[in-house]
Amino acid sequence: MTERQLEDGEALILSVLLKRANDWNGGPVNLSALRVCDMDDGGMGSLRFVSGKNHPRYGRTVAEGWFKDLDGVPVALALFVDRDEDLFELDSWKVDFTPRLRLPQDETEVRDGPPSGN
């Protein structure tokens, strides 16, 4: 997998979800220093955080959110940490499983919780 930095919209999503992760104390996160790999998810935008671990494994979900894509279809978001409480994945999927068309441009677009159809 090819490593890269976060795009602006991805950094915005992560920033919002980190603020909502009340039961996770991973310390301050330098968004510009994070490296990610795109996951093979059909273009829905999921990311794996690069770590020095050989086989990091899902630990738990620490925050959820969603935003509306250009076509009005909700894009669900979930921030996962691994078993050591380090950032693991930013899961992103359109509820109709089509490719994501855009990233949010403003924090107010990233709504709390799972999609509600609003």
- C-alpha to C-alpha distance for 55 and 74, rounded to whole angstroms: 31
Q: Where are the domains of the chain?
A: 3-112
Question: pLDDT-derived band of residue 117, with 50, 70 and 90 as boundaries?
Answer: low
Please, which residues have CB within 8 angstroms of residue 115's CB and are 6 or more apart in sequence?
A: 66, 74, 75, 76, 95
For residue 99, the 8-state DSSP code is P
On the question of pLDDT at 31 being above 60, the answer is yes
Sheet holding 87-94, edge to edge: 3-4, 36-38, 47-49, 87-94, 74-82, 58-68, 111-112
pTM to 2 decimal places: 0.92
